[in-house]
Amino acid sequence: MTNDTATKETLGFQTEVKQLLHLMIHSLYSNREIFLRELISNASDACDKLRFEALHNAALFENDSDFAIKVSHDDTAKTITISDNGIGMNRDEVIANLGTIAKSGTREFFSSLTGDQQKDAHLIGQFGVGFYSSFIVADRVTVLTRRAGEAAGQGVRWESEGAGEFSIEMVDKPTRGTEITLHLREGQEDLLSAWKLKSIIRKYSDHIVQPIRMKEEKWDEEKKAEVETGEWETVNQASALWARPKNEITEEQYKEFYKHVGHDYDEPLAWTHSRVEGKSEYTQLLYIPAHAPFDLWDRHARHGIKLYVRRVFIMDDAEQLMPLYLRFVRGVVDSADLPLNVSREILQESKDIEAIRKGCTAKVLGMLADLAKSDEAADKEKYAKFWGEFGKVLKEGVGEDFSNKDKIAGLLRFASTHADTTDETVSLADYLGRMKPEQEKIYYVTAETFNAAKNSPHLEIFRKKGVEVLLLSDRVDEWVVSHLTEFEGKPLVSVAKGGLDLGKLEDEAEKKEQEKDAGEFKALTDKIASSLSERVKEVRVTHRLIDSPACLVADEHDVSGNLARILKAAGQQAPDMKPILEINPKHPVVLRLKYEEAKFDDWAAVLFDQALLAEGGQLDDPATFVKRINDLMLSMSLGGK
């Protein structure tokens, strides 16, 4: 709806904003101080953005290139004001930034909320609260802003009480930037203290590069109170945290800087800070978050690393600084070599960027390897947490980063028949350490679900011989094993592909028995092959089965059944390849089939369909399968008539 006043409009918030405001006011009040951290962080970003845009258009500075963020309070009006001389916003940007949430993963975020205040507070923190945190302490918020480079009459005044709507009008604003005034709620008056505000700033925002200024106060003996002197004083250190020596930075400062740079509510899981000198000179401060962001699976979303050149902010989310499979990493890279007017296009071709990317990747993989190999319980727990959050993404690197493939392989974790649980705790090094002396290969099975993998008929001979098999049930695992063919000289082999070659795990007597059975059942395998000629490539006797009558295997160089199903589900064309049907010569069903005449084709079809279902496949014609089973059961109950 629109008011009668020509220039002033009242607009409704996007539904998601209403939900977020309601949730925040009720879930985050216990950590209300974050409002100041969030607003100062936004102000700092606005200054960084203007500095970058002004590299190409110095007029945007409007004769003022000294950035600062100011915080003031008015005891009488019960307000706190945060102002900056950054990029500012025009009318459209105000509506987009303050009236909607244009963030990927928004729907997933709201669907994952539980109603439990503590859990929801944690989720809101992960999602990022930003400007809306103002309403934790304020019942009315006024924003006055003007975009740098626009006329004084292009100022915008935005106001809301945090309910369903906000007002917006064009006003005069002589200076660029943004001023946010919070009209405090009842009971928040303790924030109207310079000492309190300064302590919050030093706790959460000490690392902010721009000076954060407040009016200086001195004790007045006559008034017996602190009074403002009229001078502005800088409250924070106002220096780039990453440029300071490591021994001068506390753990708390590293954590608070992460919350600023990662826009996260939680503390990071781990970080690495180093200065690199040589051909390329740069400083890197890289963090691994404790939780996956909501847009982790959007490979097109720009992620996490801020690029600076000699401490001047250049761009957010410089995706060229980190490979896609490490898109969860957050942090800062400050280069001494790149030109200040660097663009995304220049980044794509820069040799310096290539060296930085290589160095950053090695540093992150090294940090993960240290956690993974550590004997400390706390580090083991951290790595287990990391794997639970980001393991599937890290797996993408096996196929994407050939030069680091072995390092990534060492970081992978799998479920296996060793524990027979869904917990992915087994490294390839663990597997090698438990291999039988005569074992020459690393065995794995892929399936669509953990239970399908765990109960796969292909595992029967391995379980009998006590040979460990990796149980792979992530979709990305097919991609992993197609690129990771060996580890430390041992080939990775699927138990569901090609002929079963156990090598030295088989003795001579077993091999002779297999040859004998193959000859004895040749007539039967030929007959089944003839009956199922449209569906199978070959039928053969196997010794991989103990309890099951039959199983399907892919030929050595064919696509596995599981991969074919994944491709089909993704709408891609899977190669049209027939599987091999292997039968268990000891199983009663197979022995019965040897002498079956009347219903042979039905028995052969049921054998194939059962094998397909057992490996997690889907029947093309379930109704005919059920009818066959019913007919065969009826036939058996009538004495085979």
**Tens of pLDDT, residues 61-95:** 999 999 999 999 999 999 999 999 999 999 999 98
What is the Cα–Cα distance from 351 to 19, expressed in whole angstroms? 46
Q: In the block, which residue shows the tokens 């060492």?
A: 410
Between the two ends of the chain, the Cα-to-Cα distance in Å is: 80
What is the Cα–Cα distance from 228 to 225, expressed in whole angstroms? 10
In this predicted structure, the answer to whether residue 5 has a pLDDT above a threshold of 50 is no
Residue 13, both tokens: 């918030």
SS3 82: strand
In this predicted structure, the answer to whether residue 106 has a pLDDT above a threshold of 60 is no
Mean pLDDT, the chain, integer: 86
Roughly what angle, to the nearest 10 degrees, separates helices 15-27 and 117-127? 130
What is the Cα–Cα distance from 196 to 190, expressed in whole angstroms? 8
Roughly what angle, to the nearest 10 degrees, separates helices 508-520 and 522-531? 60
What is the Cα–Cα distance from 133 to 22, expressed in whole angstroms? 11
**Predicted pLDDT at 85:** 96
What is the Cα–Cα distance from 388 to 392, expressed in whole angstroms? 8
Instruction: Name residues whose C-beta falls within 8 Å of residue 575's C-beta, 6 or more positions apart in sequence.
Output: 558, 559, 564
Instruction: Give the rounded percent of residues in the chain with a pLDDT score beyond 70.
Output: 87
SS3 525: helix
- Mapping DSSP onto H, E and C, the string for 256-294 reads HHHHHHCCCCCCCCEEEEEEECCCCCEEEEEEECCCCCC
**Predicted pLDDT at 351:** 82
**Predicted pLDDT at 639:** 63
What is the Cα–Cα distance from 234 to 393, expressed in whole angstroms? 43
**Does the domain formed by 9-234 have CATH 3.30.1280.10?**
no
- Write the pLDDT tens digit of every residue in 469-524: 999 998 889 889 989 999 999 999 999 887 777 777 777 777 788 888 888 899 99
Biggest CA–CA distance in the chain, Å, is: 115
In this predicted structure, the answer to whether residue 127 has a pLDDT above a threshold of 70 is no
In this predicted structure, the answer to whether residue 150 has a pLDDT above a threshold of 90 is yes
Q: What is the mean pLDDT of residues 155-171?
A: 92
According to DSSP, the residues that pair with 606 across neighbouring strands are none
Task: Indicate the domain borders of the chain.
Answer: 9-234, 241-377, 395-504, 507-558+568-637
Contact 217, 229 (CB under 8 A): yes
**Predicted pLDDT at 390:** 95
- Mapping DSSP onto H, E and C, the string for 352-364 reads HHHHHHHHHHHHH
DSSP 152: G
Of residues 253, 252, 353, 247, the one with CA closest to residue 309: 353
Beta strands in 356-441 (DSSP E): 415-416
**Predicted pLDDT at 555:** 81
**Predicted pLDDT at 443:** 95
For residue 313, which phi and psi values (nearest 5 degrees)?
A: -65, 135
What is the Cα–Cα distance from 309 to 300, expressed in whole angstroms? 25
**Predicted pLDDT at 425:** 94
304: alpha, beta or left, given left = phi > 0 and alpha = psi -120 to 50?
Answer: left
Instruction: Give the rounded percent of residues in the chain with a pLDDT score beyond 90.
Output: 52
According to DSSP, the residues that pair with 274 across neighbouring strands are 284
Of residues 374, 286, 375, the one with CA closest to residue 332: 286
Residue 453: HSE in the Cβ half-sphere, 13 Å Cα cutoff = 27
- Write the pLDDT tens digit of every residue in 352-384: 888 899 999 999 999 999 999 999 999 999 999
According to DSSP, the residues that pair with 335 across neighbouring strands are 282, 309
**Predicted pLDDT at 115:** 61
In this predicted structure, the answer to whether residue 295 has a pLDDT above a threshold of 80 is no
In CATH terms, the fold of domain 507-558+568-637 is Four Helix Bundle (Hemerythrin (Met), subunit A) (1.20.120)
315: alpha, beta or left, given left = phi > 0 and alpha = psi -120 to 50?
Answer: beta
According to DSSP, the residues that pair with 494 across neighbouring strands are 444
Q: Are strands 305-309 and 330-335 parallel, antiparallel or unpaired?
A: parallel
- Write the pLDDT tens digit of every residue in 384-421: 999 999 999 999 999 899 999 999 999 999 999 999 99
For the chain, state the CA radius of gyration.
Answer: 33
**Residue 2 pLDDT level (bands cut at 50, 70, 90):** very low
Query: Domain 241-377's class?
Result: alpha beta
For residue 157, which phi and psi values (nearest 5 degrees)?
A: -115, 125
**Predicted pLDDT at 15:** 75
**Residue 192 pLDDT level (bands cut at 50, 70, 90):** very high
**Predicted pLDDT at 574:** 66
**Predicted pLDDT at 108:** 56
Q: What is the mean pLDDT of residues 339-359?
A: 77
**Residue 304 pLDDT level (bands cut at 50, 70, 90):** confident
* Amino acid found at 179: E
- Write the pLDDT tens digit of every residue in 571-583: 666 677 888 999 9
- Which stretches of 11-116 are DSSP H helices? 15-27, 34-54, 91-99, 106-111
Q: What is the mean pLDDT of residues 609-633?
A: 89
Q: What is the mean pLDDT of residues 315-329?
A: 85
Beta strands in 358-485 (DSSP E): 415-416, 442-446, 469-472
DSSP class per residue in 300-360:
TS--SEEEEETTEEEES--GGGS-GGGTT-EEEEEESSS-TT--HHHHHH-HHHHHHHHHH
What is the Cα–Cα distance from 224 to 219, expressed in whole angstroms? 7
What is the Cα–Cα distance from 433 to 428, expressed in whole angstroms? 9
Q: Which helix (H) or strand (E) holds 379?
A: helix 377-395
**Predicted pLDDT at 4:** 40
What is the Cα–Cα distance from 13 to 165, expressed in whole angstroms? 5
Cα angle 135, 136, 138; round to 5: 50
What is the Cα–Cα distance from 541 to 564, expressed in whole angstroms? 24
- Mapping DSSP onto H, E and C, the string for 490-521 reads EEEEECCECCCCCHHHCCHHHHHHHHHHHHHC
- Write the pLDDT tens digit of every residue in 200-225: 998 888 888 899 999 998 888 887 77
pTM (two decimals): 0.74
**Predicted pLDDT at 348:** 67
Per-residue burial over 165-197, b if 16 or more Cβ lie within 10 Å, else e, is ebbbbbeebeebbbbbbbbbbeebeebbebeeb
**Residue 113 pLDDT level (bands cut at 50, 70, 90):** low
Q: What is the mean pLDDT of residues 259-284?
A: 89
In CATH terms, the fold of domain 395-504 is Rossmann fold (3.40.50)
